[in-house]
Amino acid sequence: MGIFDFLKSNSSTQRTETPQEPNDERKAECPSCHGSLKKVPGAKTKCPHCGEFMFVRTTPDNVRLVVTKV
């Protein structure tokens, strides 16, 4: 057994992690004024009721939320 055989066998035993899908807790509602929206925001969006911007963020717990700039 050579040094290269040892490296090959060691690299094949390494764990490969697959990324988890984030838990989606977004609602079709403005977080500022709680006005109803036509659809759930997927990116930066301006509320048609109060004019405030809302953002979609993923927490370290892997949860997607709609938040405001506070």
Residue 13 lies in a domain: no
Residue 51 lies in a domain: yes
- pLDDT by residue, tens only, the chain of 70 residues: 566 676 566 555 555 666 777 788 888 999 999 999 999 999 999 999 999 999 999 999 899 999 998 6
Residue 12 lies in a domain: no
Per-residue model confidence (pLDDT) at position 14: 54
In the block, residue with structure tokens 């490969």: 16
Residue 18 lies in a domain: no
Number of domains the chain is built from: 1
**Residue-range definition of the domain harbouring residue 37:** 23-70
pTM here? 0.64
Per-residue model confidence (pLDDT) at position 18: 65
Contact between 64 and 23 under an 8 Å Cβ cutoff? The reply is yes
- Cα four-point dihedral sign 45, 68, 70, 24: negative
Half-sphere exposure of 52 (CA within 13 A, CB side): 16
